Amino acid sequence: MTNDEMSVLIRKHLPPAIKLIGGDIIEIDQEAGEVQMSFIIGEEFCHSKVIVQGGYVSAMLDACMAHAASTHSGLTKSASTLELKVSFLGASNPGTFRGVGRVVRMGRSIAYTEASLFNEAEVEVARSSSTVKLIPSKPRDS
């Protein structure tokens, strides 16, 4: 399956939680183990109308890392987060975000991933790393 075909398939099966935060696939590089996603976050996800609540920032990063691991496996594995570390580098204001998730190392049952989240001005606002358990995936419809 090509990277473009995989993007179409994943868009078709995005979970409701990712749709809720305006998540979409921008680009996939299966071989490199990298996924770029976009997110649209409104004031309803803020704790003071101007700062996005940290749990939503973490969710965007986690989605990028999980999709990077899953696509790097050719969609044969799903990623269940075992450990997640997030560094908030600045305030995240409502708007459009771009996340980049990468596989650092992948074994048969565990993967190490990292991600960066950028605001509309392409300023990195958060960075994360995670350890994920790789679980066999059920085949997806095309």
Q: Where are the beta strands (DSSP E) in 21-136?
A: 24-29, 34-41, 77-88, 95-106, 110-118, 124-136
Residue 113: both structure tokens together? 């991933």
Domain ranges of the chain: 3-136
Residue 76: both structure tokens together? 């044969």
pTM of the model: 0.93
CATH level 3 topology of 3-136: Thiol Ester Dehydrase; Chain A (3.10.129)
What digits encode the pLDDT tens for the residues 85-128? 999 999 999 999 999 999 999 999 999 999 999 999 999 999 99
What digits encode the pLDDT tens for the residues 34-86? 999 999 999 999 988 899 999 999 999 999 999 999 999 999 999 999 999 99
